[in-house]
């Protein structure tokens, strides 16, 4: 019985599947299986999986049920104690599974482990994800406001924690659902994390090292996904939703602005930042530095300055820095004149 | 014969009272030991107990009640002391997130005074274990039971569900507020909801149901036989429920239970009971609509798959933990602290 099961939901993803699977096969942790759930592909994805000829890979085929449906089928077939998710296009760092397994094994109350991520743009560049990541325990408020976990890519969960969010909707006779297959435009992952935080006592914690590269377009929930998430929060925790939904919406728009800026979409970034400030200005005033940085960057992008000659080597670029450095050296005369041994 | 003293609050909830009735009235349990019930009022410790072989606490653990437990432990250092946890569970922690660390500290401190802590369901036992609240060697699981002999004599319901019952203390835990709101969303005539119990939320719940003549408050019933006789199905929308005795009793009476799959209630699924995927008015209203659908009446449950055998076996195991086979002539067959964790 493998310790971990890694689920790859795939539909017509032949161009992205190989790279993700090769990264999974290169994991340093030795004890895992890969379940590729083919969600009714017509592009030869199955053949590309079989061509890898790896005994670790199990291919499961189903009629199309969407990304959440494929993840659910994968979970139903998974044999591992820890279950990870890797949609096509996401690329795992070789040490990722090992790091998550270590974290989950050392803390029996930890139900979900995720890592920081780099976002791949269309041009191939990697951008740091603006969502904060760290070992601090996540609660529903942080999930809603900061979206630190993101979609399913790169998350590793304990099987017992998944059981805490399992449900069987009316009419379903084959298996349970863990991810809500009625969620619009997505894998239902953010909804699942929110349910885990609101209805169970499992911990959710992150690894600060970026161990995942995932596509930029899934870094922020779409509008429909966001509305569904707010509706879920409103039903499960009305008080929390009424207090945090508007600030969370503003923070989501600010994240969109930042990602667009990093991706070079200047008009899109400006529009998103404007909408963010219109929706919940009080929230953003409390944490205005990112917005000011973005405004500065937007202004620079719109009115680029002519290149200034560089300061001579050895001198600080700015007179203020020069004065500060002189003052520091006066305070620490021995440090300034210490001779190397 | 062994003498076991059970400590309970004076106004103990009906579920615990019926469990104690079972312990006293069930012939195999009565053959195992003489069970004496000692109701305690206020926060004062009980007077010196006359040489009990074992002390079982069914008291709710609170900071204010901690000195009482400490006093009990110090007065009976050589008597095995066991705590049965009827109150706290994962669902409790989720529903009361404000004082997580304080509650965990309280539970660790209180449980340290006992030789064994008994969980009432596997879900509660897993939670106590993974949160490190009880030493693994001191944790046992014994499912409770109530006197069930009369319930199978009730005639099974025939035809579609029209009469729904909800039983329990009228407080936030039982989630009757959600049930009433969900029920009121149904346009059906000819259906009824009867709520049995007393509690401090009686007034707000009555106001919530005020203008709906289909909802009736039936007051407190010490013996639930009549409640199960007068209904076709039972609703259990509990926010937390360490075991879920009502579901077990409803099944013994041949009634299906519509329940929120939390804590011990999750284990009550699979006997014909119906889980509502989400504890919200909308989801419960949908589930009630399907339950009352005259075209598709729910299947009748198995009349008690889980019976008193597990409870008897659990108590046998508990007592064997402390039996001293090597004891002196006078103490042979008595209980002592031969096995400490």
Question: How far is it, in rounded angstroms, from Cα A79 to Cα A91?
Answer: 23
**What is the reported pLDDT for A279?**
81
Task: Confirm if B158 and B221 have CB atoms less than 8 A apart.
Answer: no
Whether A141 and A172 share a structural domain:
yes
Q: What long-range pairs does A268-275 form, CB within 8 A, spacing at least 24?
A: A269/A294, A269/A298, A270/A298, A273/A298
* Length reported for chain A: 341
**What is the reported pLDDT for A341?**
37
Whether A16 and A65 share a structural domain:
yes
φ and ψ of A35, to 5 deg:
-110, 110
Question: How far is it, in rounded angstroms, from Cα A113 to Cα A138?
Answer: 11
φ and ψ of A278, to 5 deg:
-70, -35
Collapsing DSSP to helix, strand or coil, B236 comes out as strand
Residue B281 touches chain A, beta carbons under 8 Å: yes
- Could you say which of A218, A236, A254 is where a domain stops? A236
Residue B185 touches chain A, beta carbons under 8 Å: no
Does residue A9 belong to any structural domain of this protein? yes
| B132 chain-A contacts, CB cut-off 8 A | 108-109
Does residue A118 belong to any structural domain of this protein? yes
Q: B6 forms bridges with which residues in the sheet? A: B37, B56
Question: How far is it, in rounded angstroms, from Cα A3 to Cα B302?
Answer: 36
Q: Which residues contact B56 (CB under 8 A, 6 or more apart)?
A: B4, B5, B6, B7, B81, B82, B83, B84
Domain with B199, as residue range(s), is 154-291
Task: Report the CATH number at residue B41.
Answer: 3.40.50.2000
Does residue A35 belong to any structural domain of this protein? yes
pLDDT tens by residue, A168-213: 988 888 899 999 999 877 789 999 999 999 999 999 999 999 999 9
Let me know if B10 is exposed, middle or buried by CB neighbors in 10 A (0-12, 13-18, 19+).
Answer: exposed
Whether B137 and B171 share a structural domain:
no
Cross-chain Cβ contact A167/B126 below 8 Å = no
Reported as type and span, the H/E element at residue A85 is strand A82-85
**Structure-model confidence comparison of residues A51 and B107, the more confident one:** B107
Q: Which residues contact A264 (CB under 8 A, 6 or more apart)?
A: none
pLDDT tens by residue, A80-103: 999 999 999 999 999 999 999 999
pLDDT tens by residue, A229-268: 999 999 999 999 999 999 999 989 988 888 888 777 888 8
Q: Is A274 left (phi over 0), alpha (psi -120 to 50) or beta?
A: alpha
Residue B282 touches chain A, beta carbons under 8 Å: yes
Does residue A268 belong to any structural domain of this protein? yes
Q: Which of A167, A200, A201 has the CB atom closest to B275's CB atom?
A: A167
Task: Confirm if A34 and A57 have CB atoms less than 8 A apart.
Answer: yes
Question: How far is it, in rounded angstroms, from Cα A4 to Cα A29?
Answer: 9
Does residue B117 belong to any structural domain of this protein? yes
- Count of structural domains within chain B: 2
Residue A54 touches chain B, beta carbons under 8 Å: no
**What is the reported pLDDT for A43?**
84
What is the arrangement of strands in the sheet containing B192-196, beginning at the earlier edge strand?
B215-219, B192-196, B163-167, B233-236, B257-259, B274-275
- Could you say which of A216, A236, A256 is where a domain stops? A236
Asked whether residue A313 carries a pLDDT value surpassing 70, the answer given is: no
Whether A34 and A128 share a structural domain:
yes
**What is the reported pLDDT for B325?**
57
Instruction: Name residue, tokens 């070789």.
Output: A94
To the nearest 10°, report the CA torsion of B192, B197, B199, B203.
Answer: 30
Whether B278 and B220 share a structural domain:
yes
To the nearest 10°, report the CA torsion of B198, B204, B206, B211.
Answer: -170
The closest alpha carbon to B165, from B219, B206, B100, B115, belongs to: B219
Per-residue pLDDT of chain B (341 residues; tens, 9 = 90+): 889 999 999 888 888 999 999 999 999 998 888 999 999 887 777 777 777 899 999 999 999 999 999 999 998 888 999 999 999 999 999 999 888 899 999 999 999 999 999 999 999 999 999 999 999 899 999 999 998 888 888 898 888 999 999 999 999 999 999 999 999 999 988 899 999 999 999 999 999 998 899 999 999 887 889 999 999 999 999 999 999 899 999 999 999 999 999 999 998 888 889 999 999 999 999 999 999 998 888 888 877 655 789 999 999 999 988 876 555 444 545 666 654 55
Whether A136 and A26 share a structural domain:
yes
- Mean pLDDT of the region A66-72: 94
Does residue B340 belong to any structural domain of this protein? no
- Mean pLDDT of the region A36-41: 91
Does residue B236 belong to any structural domain of this protein? yes
Does residue A329 belong to any structural domain of this protein? no
Question: How far is it, in rounded angstroms, from Cα B191 to Cα A289?
Answer: 58
Q: What is the DSSP string of A221-264?
A: --HHHHHHHHHHHHHH-HHHHHHHHHHHHHHHHHHHHHHHHHTT
ipTM of the complex: 0.88
Whether B142 and B71 share a structural domain:
yes
Q: Kindly give the interhelix angle for A266-279 and A238-262, rounded to the nearest 10 degrees.
A: 160
Whether A101 and A191 share a structural domain:
yes
Exposure string (b/e) for A107-117, b if CB count within 10 Å is 16 or more? eebbbbbbbbb
Question: How far is it, in rounded angstroms, from Cα A101 to Cα A157?
Answer: 9
Q: Which residues contact A26 (CB under 8 A, 6 or more apart)?
A: A94
| B287 chain-A contacts, CB cut-off 8 A | 170
Whether B91 and B135 share a structural domain:
yes
Domain with A100, as residue range(s), is 4-236
Whether A130 and A260 share a structural domain:
no
Tokens of B333: 């067959």
Partner B, chain A 65-94, Cβ-Cβ below 8 Å: none
Task: Report the CATH number at residue A85.
Answer: 3.90.550.10
Whether B140 and B158 share a structural domain:
no
- Count of structural domains within chain A: 2
The closest alpha carbon to A116, from A92, A144, A137, belongs to: A92
- Using only C-alpha atoms, chain A has a radius of gyration, in whole angstroms, of 23
Does residue B187 belong to any structural domain of this protein? yes
**What is the reported pLDDT for A331?**
45
Residue B90 touches chain A, beta carbons under 8 Å: yes
Whether A196 and A270 share a structural domain:
no
């Amino acid at each position: 019985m493998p310790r971990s099961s890694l689920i790859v939901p795939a539909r017509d993803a032949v161009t992205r599947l190989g790279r993700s699977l090769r990264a999974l096969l290169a994991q340093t942790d030795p004890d895992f299986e890969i379940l590729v759930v083919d969600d009714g592909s017509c592009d030869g994805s199955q053949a590309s999986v079989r061509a890898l000829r790896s005994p670790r890979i199990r291919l499961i085929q189903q009629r199309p049920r969407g990304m959440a449906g494929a993840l659910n089928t994968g979970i139903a077939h998974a044999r591992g104690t820890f279950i990870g998710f890797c949609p096509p296009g996401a690329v795992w760092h070789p040490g990722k599974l090992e790091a998550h397994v270590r974290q989950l094994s050392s803390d029996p109350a930890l139900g979900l482990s995720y890592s920081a991520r780099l976002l791949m743009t269309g041009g191939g560049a990697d951008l740091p994800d603006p969502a904060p990541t760290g070992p601090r325990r996540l609660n529903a408020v942080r999930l809603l406001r900061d979206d630190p976990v993101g979609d399913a890519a790169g998350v590793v969960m304990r099987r017992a924690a998944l059981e805490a969010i399992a449900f069987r909707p009316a009419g379903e006779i084959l298996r349970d659902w863990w991810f809500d297959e009625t969620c619009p435009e997505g894998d239902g992952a953010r909804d699942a994390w929110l349910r885990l935080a609101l209805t169970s006592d499992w911990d959710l914690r992150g690894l600060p090292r970026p161990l995942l590269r995932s596509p930029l377009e899934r870094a922020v929930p779409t509008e429909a996904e966001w509305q569904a998430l707010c509706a879920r929060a409103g039903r499960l925790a009305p008080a929390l939703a009424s207090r945090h939904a508007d600030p969370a919406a503003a923070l989501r728009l600010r994240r969109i602005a930042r990602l667009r800026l990093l991706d070079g979409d200047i008009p899109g970034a400006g529009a998103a930042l404007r909408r963010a400030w219109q929706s919940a200005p009080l929230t953003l005033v409390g944490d205005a530095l990112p917005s000011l940085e973005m405004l500065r960057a937007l202004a620079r992008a719109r009115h680029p300055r002519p290149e200034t000659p560089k300061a001579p080597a050895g001198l600080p670029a700015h007179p203020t820095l020069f004065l500060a450095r002189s003052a520091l050296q006066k305070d620490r005369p021995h440090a300034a004149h210490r001779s190397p041994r | 014969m062994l003498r076991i003293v059970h400590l309970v609050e004076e106004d103990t909830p009906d579920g615990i009272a019926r469990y104690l009735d079972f312990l006293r009235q069930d012939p195999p349990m009565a053959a195992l030991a003489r069970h004496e019930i000692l109701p305690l009022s206020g926060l004062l410790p009980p007077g010196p107990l006359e040489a009990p072989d074992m002390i079982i606490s069914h008291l709710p653990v609170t900071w204010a009640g901690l000195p009482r437990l400490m006093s009990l432990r110090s007065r009976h250092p050589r008597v095995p002391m066991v705590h049965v946890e009827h109150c706290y569970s994962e669902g409790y922690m989720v529903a009361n997130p404000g004082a997580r660390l304080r509650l965990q500290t309280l539970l660790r401190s209180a449980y340290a005074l006992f030789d064994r802590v008994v969980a009432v369901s596997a879900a509660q036992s897993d939670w106590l274990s993974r949160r490190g609240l009880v030493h693994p060697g001191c944790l046992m699981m014994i499912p409770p039971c109530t006197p069930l002999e009369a319930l199978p004599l009730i005639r099974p319901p025939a035809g579609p569900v029209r009469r729904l019952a909800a039983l329990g203390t009228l407080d936030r835990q039982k989630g009757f507020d959600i049930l009433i709101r969900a029920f009121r969303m149904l346009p059906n005539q000819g259906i009824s909801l009867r709520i049995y119990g007393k509690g401090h939320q009686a007034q707000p719940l009555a106001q919530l149901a005020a203008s709906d003549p289909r909802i009736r408050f039936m007051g407190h019933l010490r013996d639930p036989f009549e409640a199960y006789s007068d209904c076709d199905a039972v609703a259990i929308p509990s926010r937390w429920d360490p075991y879920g005795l009502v579901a077990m009793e409803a099944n013994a009476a041949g009634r299906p239970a519509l329940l929120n799959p939390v804590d011990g209630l999750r284990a009550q699924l699979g006997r014909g009971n119906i889980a509502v995927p989400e504890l919200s008015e909308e989801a419960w209203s949908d589930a009630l609509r399907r339950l009352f659908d005259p075209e598709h009446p729910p299947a009748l449950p198995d009349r008690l798959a889980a019976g008193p055998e597990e409870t008897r076996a659990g108590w046998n195991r508990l007592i064997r933990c402390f039996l001293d086979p090597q004891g002196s002539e006078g103490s042979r067959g008595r209980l002592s602290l031969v096995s400490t964790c």
